[in-house]
Structure 1
Amino acid sequence: MHGPALSGWLSMVLCSVTGAYCLLRTRSGTEGERGAARAEALMGFGMAAMALPAAVLTPPAWSWAVYAVVFGAASLRALTGARGGAHHVHHLVGSLAMVYMALAMAPGLSGGAHTAHGAHGAGASAGGVPLLTGALLVYYALYVLYAAGRLIPVAAASPGLPAGPSGGGPGLSWGTRPELALACRLTMGMAMFAMLLTM
């Protein structure tokens, strides 16, 4: 993305750490949980690569097509599981958002992000922000608030009391702690919101 270098580095580090933790989560849990962790790891590493400041490494022109193909395939996979609940739908929205950002940033397709997002055509709102970007910003803002709201009771649990249904007990390993998985999803939601703002 074309944001300031410091925010790009921060997003890259956060998304890389999140992707690495999601890979750790693929070693435990049910098959459904491992599949969700693999999808989240792909999202984290993909977002980290997109957030890398252009001053450090200018991606080749074909890299945006690779992003679009990889996350297009992830979208199809998420679509097949979309009946499995809201979390699968969230994966679908995230994968489609990555395809959208890759296509918007690709040189030669509507002139890249600057032309595509500066145009006042049929796909843009009156202020110049494309309707799809605005809808994704609203979705991720609401998702971040939702995820943070679910995380607060877990963090506020007293140390001497047993954890609630979403909290982790003392015997859980790092890879199976639900509050850490939720914190990773919150981090990726905030990073996605920040990346969409820079388009």
Structure 2
Amino acid sequence: MHGPASPGWLLVALCAATGAYCLLRMRSADEGQRRAAGGEALMGFGMAVMAVPAAVFTPPRWAWAAYAAVFGAAALRALWAARSGAHHLHHLVGASAMVYMAVVMAASSASPRAGAGHTHGGGSGVPFLTGVLLLYFATYVLVSGVRLLPVGGGAAGGVAWGDRPELVRACRLSMGIGMLAMLLTM
């Protein structure tokens, strides 16, 4: 991603930690929880790799096609799974956003001028699809943040720490923040 190195490394750390937590959630006894955690782990680690500052590592051009293929497959899986639950639509949007960012990054790495691929023809401003994705993820982050606010005395009791709903929401919130940050740096 384009942008300063320090925030880039913070984003890498946030996404990698989220991906690692999601891997731990895959040990849940609940099959639905395991499936969602697997997709979220893929997103977390994929976002971490994509967020490595370009000053440190510039992936080869073929890597962006690999990103697009992996997250395109994840988007198709989420589309198929969306038949049974609304949260899979969010996974579809997230995976599609990753495909979009990979395509934009491939175009900008192929262009002779740095950053010229993102403005689509040299115009100024934010491309329409980037703006729509920014709006979606900003709304998602705000709604997810509100859902984390405590509303009453329900104790976690015997629920395993990987299955606790507030931790799952915090994981999803941090990935939404990461996606928002990545879209802002494009």
Taking structure 1 as the reference length, the TM-score comes to 0.86
| Structure 1 segment 82-97 matched on structure 2, within 5 A | 82-97=82-97
Question: 2-side partners of 1:162 and 1:89: how far apart?
Answer: 28
Q: CA deviation at 1:110?
A: 7.0
Question: 2-side partners of 1:109 and 1:4: how far apart?
Answer: 17
Residue matched to 2:170: 183
| Structure 1 segment 1-199 matched on structure 2, within 5 A | 1-107=1-107, 111=111, 114-120=115-121, 127-153=124-150, 157=152, 161-163=153-155, 169-199=156-186
Question: 2-side partners of 1:105 and 1:135: how far apart?
Answer: 18
One-letter identity of the residue aligned with 1:62: W
- Structure 1, residues 106-140: CA drift from partner, whole Å, max 9, x if none? 1478739822322357xx7xx42110000000000
How many residues in Structure 1 have an aligned counterpart in Structure 2? Answer: 185
Structure 2 residues not aligned, in runs of 5+: none
Q: CA deviation at 1:62?
A: 1.1
Distance 1:176 1:19, change over 3 A: same
Deviates more, 1:69-78 or 1:173-182: 173-182
- Could you tell me the percent identity over the aligned residues? 63
One-letter identity of the residue aligned with 1:190: I
- Structure 1, residues 129-153: CA drift from partner, whole Å, max 9, x if none? 1100000000000000110010112
Q: CA deviation at 1:178?
A: 1.1
One-letter identity of the residue aligned with 2:117: A
Residues 148 and 186, structure 1, Cα contact 8 Å, conserved in 2: yes
The 3-state SS of whatever aligns with 1:52 is coil
- Structure 1, residues 135-193: CA drift from partner, whole Å, max 9, x if none? 00000000001100101126xx4xxx333xxxxx1322221111111001000001100
Residues 117 and 128, structure 1, Cα contact 8 Å, conserved in 2: no
One-letter identity of the residue aligned with 1:173: A
Question: 2-side partners of 1:41 and 1:89: how far apart?
Answer: 16
Taking structure 2 as the reference length, the TM-score comes to 0.92
Q: CA deviation at 1:47?
A: 0.2
Structure 1 residues not aligned, in runs of 5+: 164-168
